Amino acid sequence: MNAWRALLAVSFLLLSGCLVTFKDPIPANEPAPIPLLGEWSRKNEWGEQLYLLITRAGSNVYKARAYVDSLDNLDSLEEYGFTVAHHGRRWYLSAGLPKSKGANFAIAGFELTTDNELVIYNLDVDRILQELEQGALQGEVVASGQDDGVLITSPLDKVFTYLDDQANSDVFIEVARYQRVGD
């Protein structure tokens, strides 16, 4: 199990093999909602128990530790730093990608439900490609070994204006739903 996939499909994002990436990360200007911190779990498509431990790593910087079965399973343990932002009615997170994925930044949406779930949303690559063609966002197609990805070069304020528009709510795809451990 690719723990990065657990994190970003925790999207934090690699379920389809193609990503929407960004040149710039979300600045560390805003604290995450307190209920985001803690341990979360879910079963993946192969029946493996996935865990996600989210902790504070600094001032408005957070760390996600993704692992399979137990924290002692060091072969599956992956750690990633991320920042968050709240725009309109949505929360977003931003994490740096490894060099193998272009060393840019992924942005995902997330929500904390009243049922004590953490729901992660990825950006729909096909929909973002359409937006590039129509000029709503600027960027370029990034060819990969699988499907094409997209590198958005629009400034983050323009990206958030686009994402916050209710007319664009279908640009998000649910990729993971975690339950708080202990509930």
Residue type for position 8: L
According to DSSP, the β-strands at 38-43 and 172-180 are antiparallel
| pLDDT at residue number 169 | 86
C-alpha closest to that of 19 among 154, 131, 164, 141:
141
pTM exceeding the 0.85 threshold for the entire prediction: no
User: Cβ of 175: how many Cβ atoms within 10 Å?
Assistant: 22
Asked if 38 contacts 183 with a C-beta cutoff of 8 angstroms, the reply is no
Asked if 164 contacts 57 with a C-beta cutoff of 8 angstroms, the reply is no
| pLDDT at residue number 87 | 87
Q: Which domains does the chain have, with CATH numbers?
A: 3-122+172-180 (2.40.128)
Asked if 162 contacts 137 with a C-beta cutoff of 8 angstroms, the reply is yes
Q: Which residues contact 127 (CB under 8 A, 6 or more apart)?
A: 170, 171
**Distance of alpha carbon 18 from alpha carbon 163, whole angstroms:** 19
Q: Which residues contact 136 (CB under 8 A, 6 or more apart)?
A: 162
According to DSSP, the β-strands at 38-43 and 139-142 are unpaired
Q: Going residue by residue through the chain (183 aa), what tens digit of pLDDT does each one get?
A: 344 344 444 343 333 446 889 988 999 999 999 999 999 999 988 888 899 999 999 999 999 988 887 656 566 678 889 999 998 778 999 998 877 777 789 999 999 999 999 999 999 999 999 999 999 999 998 876 666 789 999 999 999 999 988 898 889 999 999 999 976
Could you write out the DSSP letters of every residue in 112-123? E-TTSEEEEEEE
**Distance of alpha carbon 75 from alpha carbon 170, whole angstroms:** 36
With tokens 């408005």, the residue in question is 60
Asked if 3 contacts 12 with a C-beta cutoff of 8 angstroms, the reply is no
| pLDDT at residue number 22 | 93
